[in-house]
Every structure is written in C-alpha cells, then in structure tokens.
Structure 1
Amino acid sequence: MGERWIFDGHIAGIGTASGLRAVVGVWQLSPFGSFADVMVQQASGHRLLLAPTQEVAAFISATYSFDSVKVVEVNARFEDRLLTVDAGPLQLRASVGSRPLLGKALRIVPRALAVHTAWLQAISPLAGLLSPGSRTSGTAGSGRLEYYGVSDLHRISSAVVSWNGAHAGDLAPIRPGVTFGFSSVPARPSMARVRTTVVEA
C-alpha cells in the first residue's frame, strides 16, 4: 500500500423533488485542513463538484467521477442539529433529527473498529444489504482504494434547497442513487459521522 489520506467529519445526503441530489462533506480533519465540499447530481444525471480550492478539487476529482468541476467559496456549518451550506449555485438549510435503527446499531460498534479498513472491507457486502447502494470499501479513481467508516447516523427531518436561486423542491429520497463513486449514500436523507480513508494501491 502507498500513501494514505484520512478525512474525518460528516457526510449529508439530500434528495429533492426536482431530482437534484446533493452530498455534502463537512470535514473537521483532513490533509487539506478543515473544509467542506459538495457533490451535486442533477435530474439529468450531470455530476458536478463544488470545491473550495483548486488543490481540494484536484484530489477529489481524481478520486471520484464528475462531468464538471467548479472552484467556489463553500461555506458549511453543522451545529445544534442544523446544517447550512452556501456553495456557488447551491444554498441549503437542513434540520437533523433522530437516529434510525441503523444509527443506533452503528453506535454499538467501538469507533476504533468502525473506522478500521480491514473491518470495513469485511462488512462491505452487509452494508449493501442494510442500505441498498451503499458500500464501505471499494475501488476509487486513480488506482486508489477507499473506505467509509460510519460511526453514527441521523435522519434529516427537513430541508430547504435552492439551486441557481430557484427552489429545488421538497425533501425527497435520493433516488436514483448518486454515481460519483462505487457507493451511493442511504436513500433516505441523512447525516452520517464518517471517517473516510483513501489509500494509494
């Protein structure tokens, strides 16, 4: 195995009635410091990355697949169960609610184990059964391997999403799943506590 990059923070997955789907990463710790990014898939299938710097955009676009990439100011805050995002064409305000059964089950697993790459590789098929479309390990772009260690999960209970200044529609399931990488997010809008590990194979 080669170089290893670790991103520690939260991932929110949000769907709208218009078909726009957004995956927001709010990273407290990363090789690039604290930052946020947004992956957007439109109803047409077009995949867009909104990244705060060229360096972050280069890394993420080398790991995932996009049809276009924009470097914009990405302001994201998650506190008191409220997620707010202002990123170029996207504005989002989401309320984070209770834990579903899966979130309660995730809390039982010690975090040191929940984020360990060997564990994540072993449970990846089970993750796909518990949350269709989701995987905890797989092959990423540029010959990299990627692991998602989820240690907590909350439902998103409500959201207001604007795209290019227009309301994107009511909160809706993330269907079809997003296709930036080997895994989608849960179909039900949610906020996950995540450690993402990317390894150069």
Structure 2
Amino acid sequence: MAGVRPLGLPAAVPGPLRFDGWIAGLGTTSGTRLVLGHWPTSPFGGFSDVMVERPDGHRLLLAPTPETARFVARTYVFDEVRVVPVRVRVGEDGWAVDAGALLRLRFALGRRGLTGLLLRAVPGALAARPAWTAVTDPAARLLMGVRTRGSAVGDRREFYGARDLRPVTAVTARFEGRDLGMLATVVPPVRFGFGSTPRRPSLVRVTTTVLAASEDPER
C-alpha cells in the first residue's frame, strides 16, 4: 500500500465513533515529527497507529490493519500509507513502540504539571462530551497552540476531550534504520489534520469523537 491512499470505506461516518486512549506527539533533532495514537477502546477494537512527518514534509501513516488504515486515511491527510504491525508497551515512566521493521521508538515521561492535574480533575464523562470542547478549545489554542475541535477530511467533525497530560522528557528513535536524533519541539507543526499536537513533546490522555458533519448538533 506504500504510496497509495487506501479506499473502500464510505466517506460518511456511521457515528458518533469514539476512540479512548492516548496521543503522544514529539519532535526530533533530525526534523522528523511523530504522533502516536494508542487506542485500547475504539470501534475497531484495541489498536495503535503512528503518523510520521519527515523533514521534507512527506506524511506517512503506519497502521496495523487495512481496516484501521482506511479509516485513519479517510479522516486525515497522508502522502503514503503502510500497513504494518504496531506494538506498544506502556510503562509508568516510559513507552516503547515498534512498527514492523520501519520504526523503533522509545520515550520517557516526566511528572505531570498543573495542566495535567487540572485535566485529571475533570470528570471523564464530561471530558468525553463533544460539547465540552467548546470550553477547552480557546484555552488549548492559547496555552498549547492546539485545537480540540474542527473539521476533518471526508465531511467529518472531530472533538478531542483531553483528560491528562504528561511531558515527554527523552526519546530514542530509528526510522528505516536511521537514527532520528534527540528530543525536540514539534516544529513546524504536523499537517495531518486541522490541529497539531502541543509544541512541547507530550503524552495526552484523550477521548476522541468523530461525527459526520451532518450529525454535529451545533450545526
């Protein structure tokens, strides 16, 4: 599937579709930026995927099955899609990610700061509601330069209900056998969808809701 955007999924979303898990966004001194989605709970069962933007702007999706690759590529924008096993090992102080023979990623986590503590104080049921993002979106744009709601590809709307945040403090990563360098800020912002990840490398606990635009109650 390299170089080909997967087809076969209707553009309309039989929603709402809810994904509960984590998003890690980080940069490297090579200029490569990586976004990991780890979803223990989703309409597709548990899965993980990795979005890679190279220094030249080439956007690559690594997804574990044709089904998940089709959905993600119909929601975000990529120049290339590859179906490879994506395995994630979660630890309290750091995570390990292997995407076939293409990517080996390890990152360490620091203690949560004030933002993480505030997010954890919001009841999960409230944080998961799309309407709650109307409250969080202005603060997220101001403080972290990210958006929590917006339009995606394929006439879809997305809502990110953040529930925790921890800083990523160190990384080792190899892509196609090449060392990607040390940890760096996510600059320039990644261009997979309407919003990037926080500029400072971080791991965010999140509930993501995807709706067809026609199903958005605010429209």
- Contact between 1:25 and 1:37, CA under 8 Å: does it hold in 2? yes
Q: Which moved more, 1:100-109 or 1:52-61?
A: 100-109
Q: CA offset at residue 2 of structure 1?
A: 5.5
Relative to its length, the structure with more strand (as a share) is 1
Q: What corresponds to 1:48 in structure 2?
A: 60
Q: What corresponds to 1:80 in structure 2?
A: 92
Letter in 2 for 1:85: V
Q: CA offset at residue 3 of structure 1?
A: 1.8
Deviations 1:24-62 (A, max 9, x none): 011110011011000000010110000000000000000
**Which residues in structure 2 correspond to 1:115-194 (within 5 Å)?**
115-132=128-145, 134-194=146-206
Deviations 1:96-120 (A, max 9, x none): 1111222122122222222211111
Q: CA offset at residue 160 of structure 1?
A: 0.4
Q: What corresponds to 1:101 in structure 2?
A: 114
Q: CA offset at residue 125 of structure 1?
A: 2.4
Q: Which moved more, 1:106-115 or 1:83-92?
A: 106-115
Q: Which moved more, 1:60-69 or 1:120-129?
A: 120-129
What is the CA–CA distance in structure 1 between the aligned matches of 2:44 and 2:66, rounded to whole Å?
Answer: 11
Q: What corresponds to 2:127 in structure 1?
A: 114
- Contact between 1:106 and 1:152, CA under 8 Å: does it hold in 2? yes
What is the CA–CA distance in structure 2 between the aligned matches of 1:122 and 1:68, rounded to whole Å?
Answer: 35
Tell me the percent identity.
49
Query: Between Structure 1 and Structure 2, how many residues are aligned?
Result: 200
TM-score after normalising by structure 2 = 0.88
Structure 1 unmatched runs, 5+: none
Deviations 1:96-148 (A, max 9, x none): 1111222122122222222211111343122101111x111000111010000
Deviations 1:166-199 (A, max 9, x none): 2101001010111100110011111111111001
Q: Which moved more, 1:99-108 or 1:34-43?
A: 99-108
Q: What corresponds to 2:5 in structure 1?
A: none
TM-score after normalising by structure 1 = 0.95
Deviations 1:46-94 (A, max 9, x none): 1000000000000000000001100011111212232111113111011
Q: What corresponds to 2:6 in structure 1?
A: none
The answer to whether 1:67 aligns with 2:79 is yes
> What CA RMSD, in Å, does the superposition of the two structures yield over aligned residues?
1.3
- Contact between 1:121 and 1:147, CA under 8 Å: does it hold in 2? no
> Matched residue of 2:190: which SS?
coil
> Matched residue of 2:74: which SS?
helix
Letter in 1 for 2:116: G
What is the CA–CA distance in structure 2 between the aligned matches of 1:43 and 1:69, rounded to whole Å?
Answer: 17
Letter in 1 for 2:137: S
- Contact between 1:82 and 1:96, CA under 8 Å: does it hold in 2? yes
Q: What corresponds to 2:28 in structure 1?
A: 16
> Matched residue of 1:63: which SS?
coil
Structure 2 unmatched runs, 5+: 1-12, 214-219
